[in-house]
Amino acid sequence: MLAKNLAKSALLLSFCCLPLATQASSVEVKADHKLAAQQEKFSPAQLKEDLQSLRAFIDATHPDISFSASPTQLEQAYAAISASLTQPMTANQFWHQAGKLNPLFNDAHWSVNLPQDQTDMQQLIKKTGGVFPLEVHIRPDGELTVLALAGGADTPWRGATIESINGVLAPLVGRQLLALRHGDNPLNRANLLGPSFQLYYASVFGAPAEFKLQLKQNDNISEVTLPASQTAAVIGKTSEKFADNFSYGVLDHNTAYLKLGTFSWPDEQEIGTFTKDAFTQIQQSGAKTLVIDIRENRGGNDSAWIDHVMPYLADRPFRVGSWNKKKVIASRATATEPAGLVIESEFKTWYQPQLNNPLRFTGKVVVLTGRRTYSSAVQFSNVMQDFDFATLAGEAAYARARSTGGIQFFTLPHSQLNIIVPRFWSARPKGGFTEQLQTPDWLMPDDVTAPNALIQAVLARSGAR
């Protein structure tokens, strides 16, 4: 009902000639008084200690900084950040400086983040009174596309381009937020920012009571005013409900559909029960093609798919990688592997197929990869592609095929910024250089406003083949 009322009230606004939005190359960041009044400030000396702690943690954890980042660029960034620490700052303000490292890391497993208590969206809404009212998709150039009302409810503006937000050009807003986002590359960073847009916007631009938006749809520009939302975004975030992440269905008499939305689940046996039931139904259906959708799968534990998916798909031995490089961290150090030691080694564990599994699927498999496929889901995709278990289908190459892992967490002592750093990288089973992206076999459009369109396109192509 709220979604309908918001849509109705906004549509009643008159369409008119709109004022020019701010076109400056950057927007001055203004502190949000509703948050700033509640936040402690830290001295320049404390902030510089935190910056040094950040560097020390990276040095003690990451096996090879040059794997994804330029050591020279990082040194320059460290110096610039240190030089900016001349006045007391809140943790949020410090993140606006330290967060500039994130794009330089070029890795979605490596990041500088706001304190955990500041990333709780319900607490943020309670403190500020509300957040940005729309769910959006963002492109690397900063362009914003409306996906839904906050919380996922449909809206007549679905697919519209946001031209401006409170008088500021929307692409300029998007680019400023992207300058603080981590990810493998510009496209990956943009895809990861969308689900976190509310948080980033509130951190950088504050939390106004209402948002005056210019929206462009079908070449028509309208002015819409929406109140701040009491609801957090849901699109692109892993649901706590099992059924939202895992589902089975029949696309036609010849094709089955399996959604694997995450490999991070507290009870992996629940995944096992689900896949056994799903492959039983697939066998009973007589399907000759299976579409596995991992477009929203941001990863988790390899065991989730090695133990509970591959027994139904593999017809030959496989391994999850070919070569890896790791740094021994203090908590894993031994007499023979002291802390700080960097070790390169070959993957020698091979998993055997269960050829006698009565539920093993022997037809064609197509795996849908997408904007948020990452981490263990990339490993799964690598295995499916490298061992010819499946054809990968998707719109683009979004993430690095040679991925990092074993992420470690550290909280800076003063500001409490949350630091994440990987302790190893691993090459895909067939090998491949560092910057190689995971590229689908079938490059096909994947409309961000119509996710079922790719499924239908794959269904048509599979039938044709």
> 165: closest CA among 177, 183, 153?
177
- Mention every residue, 6+ apart, whose C-beta is less than 8 A from residue 183: 102, 103, 106, 107, 108, 189, 190, 191, 192
DSSP conformational letter for 14:
P
pLDDT at 432: 84
> 313: closest CA among 219, 371, 378, 388?
388
Residues 164 and 225 both lie in one domain: yes
Given CA atoms 414, 77, 68, 113 in this order, what sign does their dihedral have? positive
**Predicted model pTM:** 0.91
Residue 311 inside a domain? The answer is: yes
Residue 9 inside a domain? The answer is: no
Residues 230 and 287 both lie in one domain: no
Give the residue ranges of DSSP H helices in 85-137: 91-98, 102-105, 121-128
Mean pLDDT of 412-417: 98
Residues 275 and 391 both lie in one domain: yes
Residue 265's SS3 state is coil
DSSP conformational letter for 13:
S
144, burial (CB in 10 Å: exposed 0-12, middle 13-18, buried 19+): buried
Residues 227 and 357 both lie in one domain: no
For the CA atoms of 455, 457, 462, 465, what is the dihedral angle to 10 degrees?
Answer: -170
Residues 261 and 125 both lie in one domain: no
| Whole-number Cα distances in Å, 253 to 258, 283, 334, 350 | 15, 12, 56, 35
Dist CA 161 CA 217 (whole Å) = 7
Residues 231 and 247 both lie in one domain: no
Pairing of strands 442-443, 424-426: unpaired
Residues 304 and 448 both lie in one domain: yes
Mean pLDDT lowest among 14-18, 26-30, 164-168, 437-441: 14-18
Q: Are 331 and 51 in contact (CB under 8 A)?
A: no
Dist CA 367 CA 61 (whole Å) = 33
List, for residues 23-54, the tens digit of each pLDDT value: 555 565 454 445 555 589 999 999 999 999 99
Q: Sorting pLDDT into bands at 50, 70 and 90, what band is 252?
A: very high
Count of structural domains within the chain: 2
List, for residues 454-463, the tens digit of each pLDDT value: 999 999 998 7
Residues 445 and 390 both lie in one domain: yes
Dist CA 196 CA 463 (whole Å) = 38
- In the chain, how many H helices and how many E strands? 15, 21
Q: What is the CATH number of the domain that holds 138?
A: 2.30.42.10
List, for residues 314-339, the tens digit of each pLDDT value: 999 999 999 999 999 999 999 999 99
Q: Sorting pLDDT into bands at 50, 70 and 90, what band is 348?
A: very high
301, burial (CB in 10 Å: exposed 0-12, middle 13-18, buried 19+): middle
- Single residue among 212, 235, 258 that ends a domain in this structure: 235
Residue 273 sits at φ, ψ, to 5 deg, of -65, -40
Q: Enter the tokens of residue 23.
A: 């076109």
> 251: closest CA among 460, 451, 394?
460
Residues 279 and 392 both lie in one domain: yes
Angle among Cα 106, 112, 117 to the nearest 5 degrees reads: 145
List, for residues 69-95, the tens digit of each pLDDT value: 999 999 999 999 999 999 999 999 999
237, burial (CB in 10 Å: exposed 0-12, middle 13-18, buried 19+): middle
The helix, strand and coil proportions of the chain, stated in percent and rounded to the nearest 5, come to 35, 20, 45
Q: Enter the tokens of residue 17.
A: 């000639």
Pairing of strands 418-421, 89-90: unpaired
Residues 310 and 379 both lie in one domain: yes
Residue 99 inside a domain? The answer is: no
Strand partners, 190: none
List, for residues 112-132, the tens digit of each pLDDT value: 999 999 999 999 999 999 999
Residues 207 and 269 both lie in one domain: no
Q: How many residues does the chain have?
A: 465
| Beta strand extents in 173-329 (DSSP E only) | 210-217, 220-227, 246-252, 255-260, 289-293, 323-327
Whole domain around residue 223: which residue ranges?
118-174+196-235
Q: What is the CATH number of the domain that holds 247?
A: 3.90.226.10
